[in-house]
Structure 1
Amino acid sequence: MRHTRLRLRFTILFILATLTIFSLITLYTFIWSTNELERQEQIQDAPKSPGAVPFWSAINHQNIYDLYATPASTIFKRKANITQSRIEELFQLIRNAHTDQAHLVDIEKLYPINPKWNFQKLLEEQQAQEQSDKDADTVDSATNLTKTTKTQRDLTTAEKTMSKHDKIQLRNYVLQVLAKWKKEHQNDEITTIASIMHDELEQDEPSKLNTSWYKYMKTVTNLRVYDPHSSPFKRLLNHLQNAEVIEANEMPQGTQIKVILDLPDSFRALLKPYRVPRNYQTLPDHFYFSDIERHHAEIAAFHLDKILGFYRVPPVVGRLIDITRDIREKATEDLANTFFISPANNTCFRGHCSYYCDTSHAVCGKPGDRLEASVQILLPRPPDVDWEKITHPYRRSYSAARKAKWESNENYCYEHVFLDEEYHNRLLLDMMDLSAFDFLIGNMDRHHMMRISSFGSNTALVHLDNGRSFGRYDYDDLSILTPIRHCCLFRYSTFARLHRVYRQGLSTLLSRSLENGEQLKKILVDEHLTAIDRRLEILFGQLDTCIKTYTVKRVMIDDGID
């Protein structure tokens, strides 16, 4: 009996011990597997070091070169308020109207003006109204009027805005002025920068007359800054891509670092370095004036300009440079003094500028001495050639606390732009072209417009400084289209080109151009290409709205510019 009890106790102890051991093993296995899964997830999510990732595959990884890089998200889907069939109807409508207007000679009958209406009188009344508003604002500031009193005065002022009759007459007046301007200048001779500079070069630097630079200057005219089919243009791109750097110096003005390169054969170029990955998006809380400049945006903007047939962006190429050989060893003393070696053993420089020119925002090789950059031809500057810097009437306030006047005044075009005689010529339609171009590339930073004044009044705008474009692909800033929405004027030839590339697929054309014309890879991620197609449809939708409001003949203008 005693023996039986001992066997029973032993069996119970053995079972308990077995269960305990099994429980411990199970618990250990569970804890180990959980830790292993977490560790694998951490390894998978962690960005690889720059040295371990091929440079061209950087766009596929998050936060490789920039701590604030955002991952590529799903393609933003937003439909324009216009259908494909309506775009085709719009094209036929505009083409037919253009054919009909070509046979009309009497501009005054096409755009009739009441004999009792007078432009100068309207201009004086508007100027008096503006002065009265300024005086009232001064009084408000001096007397510290209450918010209610200010609101009452604003409502009273709103009643004094331009009447519907004056707006109709003013629009017809502007249309007449543009038609007369076309008639006066349609037979103007095309002028080149080479012809403007020839005499002075022949006297002071005759050797330049035999350079590739001078041959290229023969293709820079008052209507375009390059001829995409010319031999000098092709040689220029090769020169920007491969020529040895003679000297590197900083551009004296600008908010961010830019380097001027002296190249052989009298060429000078503007270098903008790589700053952020291709899939980087401007943070939603960042203002346009604090955004980083992107070298790949300059490259993409040039290719889009070429596809659209504007030819107003100075040629630019992407180039992979040796930051030590091509910049540091060729740098001026001021620039060379800003170079240093980072803790990651990369060569860096910070330069001198208003933004992002400190050690924490330095330009560094990625890795070592290797650096991507955009290299753009520098056109002649004063005193060789005179330029005109025009403050954009739709310039943003560049303030986080206040808006520009045009942002709260739907009559801004009538009360300011149409009344400004500086815009009673091709500049008005050039500004509309620029607005369309900026909307496609997402550029909010167009505070000034530039043109070469040595050519005279019949000269196109030069679309400079596009580095802050292509900031976001998940957002379409419709405010960039405000000049077109307010003024509802558009060049017929621009619409025809936009429709042509729409039929061919704008994103396809741009992608193909970047692939065939660039040594740097994947300049734009697919989301940006999709955004361009979407924005083109939105632009057509805006023009459709204008035409429904004012009719084709009062919106689409044939000013003789191809």
Structure 2
Amino acid sequence: MLIIFSVITLYTLIWTTNEFERQEQLRDAPLPPGAVPFWSALDHQNIYDLYAPSASKEPKQSSNITRQRIEELFQLIRNARTDQTHSVSIKKLYPIDPGWNFQKLIDERVAREKEDENKKDSDAHDEANDSNTNSTKTTPINSLPDLTTIEKTVNEYDKIQLRHYIHQLLHKWKKEHENDKIVTIADLMHDEILQEEPSRLNTSWYACMTKATNLRVYDPHSMELKRLLNHLQNGEVIEASEMSQGTQIKIILDLPDGFEALFKPYRVPRNYQTLPDHFYFSDVERHHAEIAAFHVDRILGFYRVPPVIGRLVDITRDIRETATEELAKTFFTSPANNTCFRGHCSYYCDTSHAVCGKPGNRLEGSVQVLLPRPPEIDWDKITHPYRRSYSAVRKAKWESDENYCYDHVFLDEEFHSRLLLDMMDLSAYDFLIGNMDRHHMMRIGSFGANTALIHLDNGRSFGRYDHDELTILAPIRQCCLFRYSTFARLHRVYRQGLSTLVTRSLENGEKLQKILIDEHVAALDRRLEILFDHLHVCIKTHTVKGVMVDDGID
């Protein structure tokens, strides 16, 4: 009996201990969905993601440059600019070997390309012949074609000569255009308007066009800009129609006094981040990104983004009741009793991606002034040499060839002008706002050759704040050319705090609240330091005079 009692006692003790341990292990385990109280469930982790690692909010890149080094870099660049202004001859600063010739370099490249084409045709012919033979013999290893392709690039000697040649051309461009008269859109259109519709000369629209020049789209200190933004934000909608091109729906609003504006509706909340597995070309356009991009452009002193502001519209009164017949057909009422429309476009124009009032008829969006279009004004649409492939499986040439700038961009005579440095400005701007979707560059061709790029279509910027896309800086990294004036402005806003300046700007005049969340604002400062770091590397490689260009453009 004693033995039996001892065994039962021992078993009970072991069972109780195991039960306590099991309860201890389950104490911190997540409750099943049905066991979570309603209010607690609002903050509860998804039951299927319990064991998934939490997403890191830390950026994947950061700069290696310090504030002190940035200040030293600024002093170095400023002193070099002063020395360069007292230089006797640009040809002494950037000497070219008498035996080197740009046209000869072009001819050699054309000859190599023809040789490569002939070789490809020959290889294709040989493969066709081989496929027609039924021989079972094994081909000797030493007769197999070489599967490694050697990229024929500009050699180091030609690189140096080519850089000096580009510097001389940019200096020549400066001399030819430094006394050019500033031309406005109003100047271009005055005679035609006077003849066909003289009443337009007395409109607020025409007054704004007197401030849009070949060098900038708006004057940041003018009363016309304040009136324009107020007009975009509060003007009565006369007609709403769809913009014909584009992958996502955009609405053209006809406003009083001759204005046309582009309305991009709310799509995602402010804290939405582009999913890591989504490509840039499938990303959704964000109205708050358009607004923030304009403010960043203004802070940086480019003034190349047509003015844009946030607006809260009544989707029924402002859009449905003023819609063209084609747009009106796409309106419907959702199961939640909200007014919606889907429009017509390449991708996000179906009922599952419809634009709806939230709630009821309220809809916020960005409203951007539309500049005159053909046939009133001619535009140049330039394919960006650093355009992405827009393919899920194929990369662009520049992504795998670090000599791409020497092999292609420097050899293209279209870039032997201010366009080259405008592209560098655009690269810096796009990197700061995180815009990967820059497939073309736009400028007003009616102004002639001396006209700045206009930074249009920034809706896919500010997609991620935890990642800095360094490939956007490829033009700067590979070409290593940059404007003195742009660097000076970037340094000034760095000292004042780019994030602070942008935050203040967004709080001034915007009715929509919290355009950028804090993480996106902080990313601006981080990316600016990364940009300085890239310029620092360029200068260590090519010296200040080899990188910085004073082309007389502020």
> In structure 2, how many angstroms separate the alpha carbons of the residues matched to 1:383 and 1:151?
55
Any idea what the Cα deviations from partners look like across 1:93-118, whole Å, max 9, x if unmatched? 00000000011130111100000000
Q: Give the letter aligned to residue 103 of structure 2.
A: Q
Q: Does the aligned pair in 1 maintain the 2:216–2:304 contact within 8 Å?
A: yes
Counterpart-to-counterpart distance in 1, 2:293 and 2:143: 48
1:378 to 363, 370, 375: 370
Instruction: Look up the SS of the partner of 1:330 in the other structure.
Output: coil
CA contact (8 A) 2:57 2:466 kept: no
For residues 157-202 of structure 1, the C-alpha deviation after alignment (integer angstroms, 9 at most, x for no partner) is 33x4211000000000000000010011001000000010000000
Structure 1: distance between partners of 2:110 and 2:430: 31
Letter in 1 for 2:401: N
Q: Note if contact 1:78-1:534 (Cα within 8 Å) is conserved in structure 2.
A: no
CA contact (8 A) 1:279 1:525 kept: yes
Counterpart residue identity of residue 112, structure 1: P
Quick check: 1:358 aligned with 2:354? no
2:105 matches 1:109: no
Q: Does 1:479 align with 2:462?
A: no
1:306 is aligned to 2:289: no
User: Which one of 133, 138, 147 corresponds to residue 116 of structure 2?
Assistant: 133
Call closer, same or farther: CA 1:149–1:348 in 2, change over 3 Å: farther
Tell me what 1:513 maps to.
505
Q: 1:278 and 2:270 equivalent?
A: yes
Q: Out of 202, 208, 233, which is 1:216 matched to?
A: 208
Distance, in Å, in 2 between the alignment partners of 1:470 and 1:292 is: 11
Match in the other structure for 2:146: 152
Range with greater deviation from structure 2 (343-352 or 73-82): 73-82
Equivalents in 2 of 1:329, 1:282: separation in Å? 34
CA contact (8 A) 1:75 1:530 kept: no
Residues 112, 292 of structure 1: CA spacing in aligned structure 2 closer, same or farther, 3 A cutoff? same
1:276-295 deviations in Å (ceiling 9; x for gaps): 01010001110111000000
Question: In 2, Cα distance between the equivalents of 1:150 and 1:243?
Answer: 72
Correspondence 1:195 to 2:184: no
User: Does 2:40 align with 1:44?
Assistant: yes
CA distance in 2, matches of 1:359, 1:389: 33
Stretches of structure 1 that go unaligned for 5 or more consecutive residues are: 1-26, 49-60, 63-70
| Residue 297 in structure 1 maps to residue 281 in structure 2 | no
Cα distance in structure 2, aligned partners of 1:415 and 1:383? 36
Corresponding residue of 1:246: 238
Deviation at 1:515, TM superposition (A): 1.0
Cα distance in structure 1, aligned partners of 2:412 and 2:31: 71
Give ranges in structure 2 of 5+ residues lacking alignment: 1-22, 47-53, 131-138
Q: Separation in 1 of the partners of 2:417 and 2:527? A: 28
Deviation at 1:231, TM superposition (A): 1.0
Aligned residue for 2:508, secondary structure, equals: helix
Residues 61 and 467 in structure 2, CA contact (< 8 A), matched pair in contact too: no
1:140 is displaced (CA, Å) by 5.4
CA distance in 1, matches of 2:292, 2:142: 50
Q: How far apart, in 1, do the equivalents of 2:76 and 2:37 lie? A: 58
Asked whether the 8 Å contact 1:140–1:150 carries over to 2, the reply is no
Which residue in the other structure is 2:435 paired with?
443
Matched residue, 2:407: 415
When the two chains are superposed, the root-mean-square deviation of aligned CA atoms in Å is 2.5
Number of equivalences: 510
Measure how far apart 1:346 and its partner are.
Answer: 0.6
Tell me the CA shift for residue 401 of structure 1. Answer: 1.3
Residue of structure 2 in register with 1:181 after alignment: 173
Aligned-pair distance for 1:81? 1.6
Q: Name 1:532's counterpart in structure 2.
A: 524
Q: Report what 1:504 is aligned to.
A: 496
1:256–1:357 CA contact under 8 A, matched in 2: yes
**Mapping of 1:41-120 within 5 angstroms?**
41-46=37-42, 74=57, 76=59, 78-120=61-103
SS in 2 for 1:372: strand
Please say if residues 59 and 468 of structure 2, whose CA atoms lie closer than 8 Å, have aligned partners that are also in contact. Answer: no
Task: Give, in whole Å, the separation in 2 of the partners of 1:273 and 1:317.
Answer: 12
Runs of 4+ in 1 over 6 A off after TM superposition: 34-38, 144-151
**CA offset at residue 128 of structure 1?**
2.2
Match for residue 392 of structure 1 among 378, 381, 384: 384
Going from structure 1 to structure 2, the CA distance change for 1:273 and 1:141 (only over 3 Å counts) comes to farther
- In structure 2, the partner of 1:470 is 462
Tell me what 1:4 maps to. Answer: none
CA distance in 2, matches of 1:133, 1:357: 45
SS in 1 for 2:513: coil
